[in-house]
Structure 1
């Protein structure tokens, strides 16, 4: 049986994090790690009560939180086969982890992206700027690298050893696109799985603000053009 660990970056997700943890299929997941990214609410306490391992990362940023989770896995010699990343806002459907990991287990894929581009995505689950940003990023990745991605969705699974080989470095908004670009450059076997997506609980820290949207867009495009020059 494959050892699977879930890493959930979380900033002020007190209202949603219990639902996320509760819906994770515990029969296949050995540990759920919630990285409390300097929350000012009760995120950490709720996550711990729900059974998660809770870490604290004071530096604000999605990538910082993901790297903290990876650091914990490495330092404790947990050696999972697969790492699953998903958000703590309950926009993803955690029970679909069983579907997202299947291409790795059955077809020996290295990376699987949960694609939100399907009929089961909630009508208002993704903002217009997110839709455009995802389209532009994946279009450029297709144009420049012949990549077959349709989304930069945060819900994803990757073989642990392959993840380590990527030497991930982005600390903020570019984490997802960095992983996908490096997977392309390293000739990883990758695919997408359609996933459901609903309106998040609470307000998005990225797409919910003009500043967050602009900075995320700049970071994502900078990663793409950086790799196009290599």
Structure 2
């Protein structure tokens, strides 16, 4: 059975040093869409030279970059991966293959640090707390927000994701769960990134992400459940 064609969205902000390794690790049949989110280095030029499709998204924010990549994708399956070399694109089949087989609609890569320095303590604690709230909100046994993930492109577009900041990955899970998607979590190695992180590497970035995601979780708790909607039907 031939490997499915997959577009890989790589949100990018000053990742010139990491991109050569990242793009060289893509499996056959996987195409990179590098979304430049205002880089001041040669990230866009390097990505283009290495054969990636380069999209420029001037609106800053992880969600802005990720969604611009989704809108530019044409493959039936879209995967997302960080562009900082913390995750190996050679591992993408771990999240893509169950989607391609029709076993599930969304697969998230649960980060498994390869070294103690790969995941700062403050970010790990924040992720633990958010994962607990995510489980409470969705009923899905998830342990990580999973920056490496994959789903079908038409289905992703139908979710009509609106967050354009740090809450985008969480909104995807919340809306997918509310829509009845089958969601699976798989282990993926997580290594120290190249360069400085814009989110988890700083306390300020982590706080911003927590605020964005907490807002989404609060909105999810206020959303009527299926049983609530059923009880409101006229007798």
Instruction: Establish whether TM, by shorter chain, passes 0.5.
Output: yes
Does structure 1 residue 141 correspond to structure 2 residue 134?
A: yes
Structure 1 residues 72 and 145: CA distance shift in structure 2, 3 A = closer
Quick check: 1:193 aligned with 2:195?
no
- Within the candidate set 2, 5, 29, 1:3 is matched to 5
Alignment of 1:69-80 (within 5 A): 69-73=69-73, 78=74, 80=75
Structure with max Cα Rg? 2
Shift of residue 209 of structure 1? Answer: 2.3
**CA displacement, residues 100-119 of structure 1 (integer Å, 9 cap, x when unaligned):** 21211235210000101x4x
1:157 equivalenced with 2:159 (yes/no): no
The alignment's TM-score, normalised by the length of structure 1, stands at: 0.92
Name the stretch that deviates more: 105-114 or 165-174: 105-114
- Map of 1:12 onto structure 2: 14
In the TM superposition, what whole-angstrom CA distance separates every residue of 1:73-110 from its partner, at most 9, and x where no partner exists?
Answer: 3xxxx2x2210000110000110112221211235210
Structure 1 match to 2:209: 216
Aligned twin of 1:28: 29
Provide the C-alpha distance between the structure 2 equivalents of 1:220 and 1:67, rounded to a whole number of angstroms. 17
Residue 43 of structure 1: CA displacement?
A: 0.4
Moved more, 203-212 or 169-178: 203-212
Q: CA deviation at 1:218?
A: 0.5
- 1:29-73 Cα offsets, whole Å, 9 max, x none, are 1x2110011100010111111110111111111111112112223
* TM-score, scaled to structure 2: 0.90
Shift of 1:126: 0.8
CA deviations 1:192-225 (Å, max 9, x no partner) are 1100010000000112223211111111111111
Matched length: 221
The CA deviation string for residues 111-137 of structure 1, in whole angstroms up to 9 with x for no partner, is 000101x4x532211111211111111
Q: Distance in 2 between matches of 1:109 and 1:144?
A: 20
User: Aligned residue for 1:81?
Assistant: 76
Hey, what's the Cα distance between the residues in 1 that align with 2:146 and 2:88?
13
Say which SS state the counterpart of residue 166 (structure 2) adopts: coil
- Residue 203 (structure 1) aligns with: 196
Is the 2:19–2:43 contact (alpha carbons within 8 Å) kept by the matching residues of 1? yes
- Structure 2 gap segments, 5+ residues each: 224-235
**Structure 1, gaps ≥5 residues long:** none
